[in-house]
Amino acid sequence: MRSDQDGTGTGPARLAPPPTKGHVSVARLGRHWYVACRTGELGRRPLARVVLGIPLVLFRDREGRAAALLDRCPHRNVPLSLGRVDAGGTLECGYHGWRFDGAGRCQLVPGLRDGGVSADRAVAAHPTREQDGLVWVYATPDVVPETLPFALPPHAAGGYTTVTRVVDVEASLHATIENALDVPHTAFLHRGLFRGSGTPHEIRAVVRRSGDRVEAEYIGEPRPEGVIGRLLSPSGGVVEHWDRFVLPSIAQVEYRLGTENHLVVTSICTPLDDFRTRQFAVVSFRLRVPGLLVRPLLEPLTMRILRQDAAILRRQAESIRRFGGEQYMSTELDLLGPHVWRLLREAEEGRPPKAADAVVEREIRFLA
């Protein structure tokens, strides 16, 4: 890729060379887990989903376990998601009635005397796992994954209120994650909702990078201005703030203010294709005020911010297409985006993860 995105954003800003047509921040990480849907979306009817450009059909087998197959019947290429799940928990093609179990094995070809059971007629099956109210799918079929999906923080048992919302973004996985972890844009794109007073603050940022993640800790940050900041802490104060990225697609923002106020937003991003990303935003919070009172106010404000981000990312992607590729100019305020890109590229190329990198401390100023 021809851009400053490969660097770490340190040193003076520099204009990247003109991009080669088609060079964009797109990474395709196949041997990883992604969220296909929420648990409640998956019933007895087949559910069509796309992960990393792969059409999948999800359904529940006889034992009620989630299963994911390539959404194409090997007989005549008809999407299996157009079929139905029979009483025995097999997926029946809607064209000729071929039936497949959760492992993709053909269990019946109607009209054949032997029933048609044959390993040659199998459909590629993707490992699945239900966890934290989400259905995770492994992007590489017919393998035994060596890892587990990302686990959400165990907040539900500790008096937290948790809300999950899904937003589709017309942007690459990298652009979506960078946006979720980018502090400076909030004072402008979300002015009045979250930050935007125009007051600059000197704070210290500590960036820590390890094999599969990078984290920025902001030290000495005042409570963000705007409606959401005042809602979370009417009396103000100094917050503890962390932004994190975890491979392959997790962006997490955490705020603490004192011992009572705590907010964690975990954005689990599923790349549908190169320029479409589905964002499963899990918001968990515990406040001095009961969550049942705050949720009706916080939820629509959060959705408004997510929609603003989705709109600007769509325009960003349109601009990249218009100019035939990317061209970035980064400064020391672009703390995590370059690190995220580096981790994505290393994982895509199969480079072994490093145990840890040096901790980077940086004094920065941004608008509250």
Q: Architecture of domain 157-367 in CATH? A: Alpha-Beta Complex (3.90)
16 confidence band (pLDDT: 50, 70, 90): very low
Give CA–CA dist 308/182, Å, rounded: 14
Question: In what helix (H) or strand (E) does residue 98 lie, and over which residues does it extend?
Answer: none
Superfamily (CATH H level) for 33-138: Rieske [2Fe-2S] iron-sulphur domain (2.102.10.10)
Distance CA 245, CA 251 (A): 5
Rounded-to-integer distance, Cα 33 and Cα 355, Å: 21
**At residue 169, does pLDDT exceed 80?**
yes
Residue 151 has pLDDT above 90, yes or no: yes
Question: Helix, strand, coil proportions of the chain in percent (round to 5)?
Answer: 20, 35, 45
CA gap 89, 112 in Å, rounded: 21
Average pLDDT over residues 307-330: 92
What are the boundaries of each domain within the chain?
A: 33-138, 157-367
pTM (two decimals): 0.88
DSSP 12-53: S--BPPPPPTT--------SSEEEEEEGGG-SSS-EEEEETT
Residue 220: both structure tokens together: 């000495």
Tens of pLDDT along 26-77?
Answer: 999 999 999 999 999 998 899 999 999 999 999 999 999 999 999 999 999 9
- The pLDDT value given to residue 8: 39
Phi/psi class of residue 94: alpha, beta or left (left: φ > 0; alpha: ψ in -120 to 50)?
alpha
Q: What pLDDT does residue 301 have?
A: 86
pLDDT band at 13 (very low <50, low <70, confident <90, very high): very low
